[in-house]
Amino acid sequence: MTKPILNTHNKEDHPPAHTAEHILNGTMVKMFGCGRSYNAHVERKKSKCDYRLDREPTVEEIALIEKRVNEVIASNLDVTESFLTQEEAASIVDLSKLPDDASEMLRIVRVGDYDACACIGAHVANTSEIGTFKIISSDFDNGRWRLRWRIVKK
């Protein structure tokens, strides 16, 4: 079987931060009805995600994003994977960013029942392994909201 190809990001460096990115994306979709981040850079020391929004989130909304992500992390959810065909996966996850050369079989990563995403990266086995999600800063420019964040280990 050909290894699934889903993106060009190197997410192997820090599984806790990469798993937190999945939770952050799920939170953004739920809170703002936006798509998942369209540009992300995830690292051990500091990470960023860009979202398309029609307005800048308020200070209260930003605090709520941080709170909700940490609530999901504290829920001790299992992080699992399954392999589905693109047709099967289309009913579960958004495949709009799937590259043209992606294999027919996709790896779907689930964070409990909170989030599901096609992904090739490394993840923790349970959200209890992540640490604390901390928002560092954000800015809004012409429909792009950039969120900078990090994971603080326990």
Question: Domain extents for the chain?
Answer: 15-152
Burial call 110-149: b when 16+ CB within 10 Å, e when fewer: bbbebbbbbbbbebbebbebbbebeeeebeeeeeebebeb
Q: Domain 15-152, what fold?
A: Threonyl-tRNA Synthetase; Chain A, domain 2 (3.30.980)
pLDDT digits (tens, 9 = 90+) for 89-126: 999 998 988 888 889 999 999 999 999 999 999 999 99
pLDDT digits (tens, 9 = 90+) for 68-81: 999 999 999 999 99
